[in-house]
A and B are shown apart, each in its own frame.
Chain A
């Protein structure tokens, strides 16, 4: 039901115009507590919007000199050599996406299985334990994930990277520019890569993706679940026909939210990668760079012109993340499951 609230600008319908049939003004007559709460909540909402807008405007204004100076080449140039006045973000953008794609490729199946296990299979005690473990995982600071990635993960992951190169190296994205079958294989060629950084980032985005998915799965209507089971379905059949279709919006949305987070992840990436500005899509190979890692690495010694260039890179990332997150939110809210959540 819609109630049209007239705020006083439009004149009330003429009482004499008997024939006129248009929506009449209704005084919502909110009690005082409601009015106070309403105003307060609205103020906070507006504030959030203002802060977001202010960040965008600030970054945008700071970017103007850079866009003027470098023009389109800012997007096509891959090197970042302020001393020679050559600046561009094509390589770091590619690196950013490479890390995010690796992170999602790992986090997505894990999050999906964990969420399905928690919402469909786990007995209540294990369910509670797992949920709190995953929440805890989300609370681990990213610097810790960075250290974990560097000291614990990397020595092991390079073996996996080597194995992938040996066995699947014919696929371009598993290729590493070195002789994989050399008697002593070049370990350093497999270290500090987008692959290893991506694994660390995947651990960071997994909790959020799993939480969103678990939430929507648990809202799959009981009636439809029981309908499937009563027809003689297996549990897995029920999940496939009821839970997954219902949760599709949440699966996509949760993944894209994680993508937004993965695109911006900084400190863990900085710790693991060794900077490189080549245009390549070889995640297993040493060296990559991301926008946020670039900013973090160059910010300290930057002159004001370079600072503007770094902020421009940040602006581009901001816009991309904004688009990804907006898309994610739209998908979630358009879907059946999202309509329930909102």
Chain B
């Protein structure tokens, strides 16, 4: 746990990652079952990488984890997702509160284009109905952008619209925006797939830096990236005509050096997928 202190108001913020655990998660789109009984523990202070060939249900799994899955009208699911031991799908759990605690960064950078960079950073606080943050606005903007590795580049142009940034900067702005609401978990769906190598590096550094404070789950197609940023790795696979599931999960090093399952070995060595 690390503590940040706002110089302006003495506001104290505890950052400590949440423990996320999926238990027997199945997911459907209409009658098409795309995930079957997936269980995965995502411990705090750990970056979990989800890898696997296209269409095996990684994004679907990730979206189940913060209740974005149900935005698709035909989407159904079974199982439980426990955040610090409590099922986020249990009745009485407000969906907005859950999503605030479990943030998400998307494949395509999606800042609010009409808002300034600064407003983008604090937009989540407004949207999630956080109280009493306005007196700390400048401090929140600076710390969030710093944590996302963007502060130095934009500190003199905070009033410019978010859409004026480059793709890589936009993605880091989106990360800053997610971090500003102080989530316990951050889900990232191929956050670097639209970025150049330098921006990718920056985002990876950011991930490594925030992992003490936020539990990170990242989907990636880039094996080197998975190896670089994650401590735990889960290999997803959907064999012809069957729903997707986890073939193997373990320490990243072990998954890449000495996988147990032959299919994992084939995939991480680029032999299929």
Asked if chains A and B come from one complex, the reply is: yes
Give residues in A with beta carbon < 8 Å to B: 123-124, 221, 223-224, 226-234, 237-238, 241-242, 245-246, 336
Query: Across the interface, do B181 and A232 meet the contact criterion of CB distance under 8 Å?
Result: yes
A-B contact pairs, 17 of them (CB 8 A): A123-B73, A221-B110, A224-B112, A226-B104, A228-B127, A229-B68, A229-B71, A230-B68, A231-B99, A231-B177, A232-B96, A232-B99, A238-B127, A241-B115, A241-B123, A241-B127, A242-B112
Query: Across the interface, do A230 and B104 meet the contact criterion of CB distance under 8 Å?
Result: yes
Q: List the count of A-B residue pairs having beta carbons below 8 Å apart.
A: 77
Docked Cα-Cα span, A230 to B113, in Å, equals 17
**A interface SS class:** helix
Lowest 7 CB-CB distances: which A-B pairs, in order?
Answer: A232-B100, A232-B128, A233-B127, A231-B124, A223-B110, A230-B104, A227-B110
Q: Given the complex, which residues of B lie within 8 Å of A229, measured CB to CB?
A: 68, 71, 99
Docked Cα-Cα span, A124 to B30, in Å, equals 14
Q: Given the complex, which residues of A lie within 8 Å of B111, measured CB to CB?
A: 227
**Taking A224-B112, A241-B127 as contacts, is the C-beta distance between A231 and B106 under 8 angstroms?**
no
Q: Given the complex, which residues of A lie within 8 Å of B126, measured CB to CB?
A: 237, 241
Docked Cα-Cα span, A242 to B174, in Å, equals 15
Docked Cα-Cα span, A246 to B110, in Å, equals 14
Docked Cα-Cα span, A232 to B129, in Å, equals 8
Q: Select one of A124, A226, A246 contacting B106, CB under 8 A.
A: A226
- Residue of A with least CB distance to B107: A223
Q: Given the complex, which residues of A lie within 8 Å of B18, measured CB to CB?
A: none
Which residue of A227, A237, A246 has the most chain B CB atoms within 10 A of its CB atom?
A227
**Taking A124-B73, A223-B106, A241-B123 as contacts, is the C-beta distance between A230 and B66 under 8 angstroms?**
yes
Q: Given the complex, which residues of A lie within 8 Å of B164, measured CB to CB?
A: none
**Taking A232-B127, A233-B128 as contacts, is the C-beta distance between A226 and B68 under 8 angstroms?**
yes
- Residue of B with least CB distance to A228: B127
Q: Is B17 an interface residue (CB 8 A)?
A: no
Query: Across the interface, do A231 and B100 meet the contact criterion of CB distance under 8 Å?
Result: yes
Q: Is B178 an interface residue (CB 8 A)?
A: yes
Docked Cα-Cα span, A336 to B163, in Å, equals 12
Docked Cα-Cα span, A94 to B128, in Å, equals 47
Q: Given the complex, which residues of B lie within 8 Å of A237, measured CB to CB?
A: 126-127, 129
Query: Which residues of B85-122 are within 8 A (CB) of A?
Result: 96-101, 103-104, 106, 108, 110-115
In the complex, besides A227-B112, A230-B178, 4 extra interface pairs with C-beta distance below 8 angstroms are: A232-B99, A232-B101, A233-B127, A234-B129
Query: Across the interface, do A245 and B127 meet the contact criterion of CB distance under 8 Å?
Result: no
Docked Cα-Cα span, A226 to B105, in Å, equals 10
Q: Given the complex, which residues of A lie within 8 Å of B71, measured CB to CB?
A: 226, 229
Query: Which residues of B5-64 are within 8 A (CB) of A?
Result: none
Min Cβ gap A55→B in Å is 39
Q: Given the complex, which residues of A lie within 8 Å of B97, measured CB to CB?
A: 232
Docked Cα-Cα span, A123 to B66, in Å, equals 23
Query: Across the interface, do B103 and A230 meet the contact criterion of CB distance under 8 Å?
Result: yes
Query: Which residues of B190-208 are within 8 A (CB) of A?
Result: none
- Residue of A with least CB distance to B130: A232
Min Cβ gap B120→A in Å is 10
**Taking A241-B127, A242-B112 as contacts, is the C-beta distance between A234 and B96 under 8 angstroms?**
yes
Query: Across the interface, do A232 and B124 meet the contact criterion of CB distance under 8 Å?
Result: yes
Q: 0/1 per residue, B228-246, Cβ < 8 Å to A?
A: 0000000000000000000
Min Cβ gap B164→A in Å is 14
Docked Cα-Cα span, A271 to B129, in Å, equals 52
Q: Given the complex, which residues of B lie within 8 Å of A226, measured CB to CB?
A: 68, 71, 104, 106, 110
Query: Across the interface, do A233 and B96 meet the contact criterion of CB distance under 8 Å?
Result: yes
Min Cβ gap B129→A in Å is 8
Q: Given the complex, which residues of A lie within 8 Å of B124, measured CB to CB?
A: 231-233
Min Cβ gap B25→A in Å is 18
Docked Cα-Cα span, A227 to B103, in Å, equals 9
**Taking A226-B68, A226-B71, A241-B123 as contacts, is the C-beta distance between A231 and B128 under 8 angstroms?**
yes
Q: Given the complex, which residues of B lie within 8 Å of A232, measured CB to CB?
A: 96-101, 124, 127-129, 181
- Residue of A with least CB distance to B94: A232
- Residue of B with least CB distance to A238: B127
- Residue of B with least CB distance to A235: B96
- Residue of B with least CB distance to A233: B127
Query: Across the interface, do A230 and B112 meet the contact criterion of CB distance under 8 Å?
Result: no
Query: Across the interface, do A336 and B127 meet the contact criterion of CB distance under 8 Å?
Result: no
Q: Given the complex, which residues of A lie within 8 Å of B112, measured CB to CB?
A: 224, 227-228, 241-242, 245
Docked Cα-Cα span, A224 to B174, in Å, equals 11
Docked Cα-Cα span, A166 to B99, in Å, equals 50
Min Cβ gap B66→A in Å is 7
- Residue of B with least CB distance to A221: B110
- Residue of A with least CB distance to B180: A231
Q: Given the complex, which residues of A lie within 8 Å of B181, measured CB to CB?
A: 231-232
Q: Given the complex, which residues of B lie within 8 Å of A238, measured CB to CB?
A: 127
- Residue of A with least CB distance to B163: A336
Docked Cα-Cα span, A228 to B120, in Å, equals 11
Query: Across the interface, do A231 and B127 meet the contact criterion of CB distance under 8 Å?
Result: yes
Which residue of B66, B108, B114 has the most chain A CB atoms within 10 A of its CB atom?
B114
Min Cβ gap B20→A in Å is 15
Min Cβ gap A252→B in Å is 15
Min Cβ gap B69→A in Å is 11
Query: Across the interface, do B106 and A227 meet the contact criterion of CB distance under 8 Å?
Result: yes
Q: Given the complex, which residues of A lie within 8 Å of B98, measured CB to CB?
A: 232
- Residue of A with least CB distance to B178: A231
Docked Cα-Cα span, A221 to B113, in Å, equals 11
Min Cβ gap A246→B in Å is 8
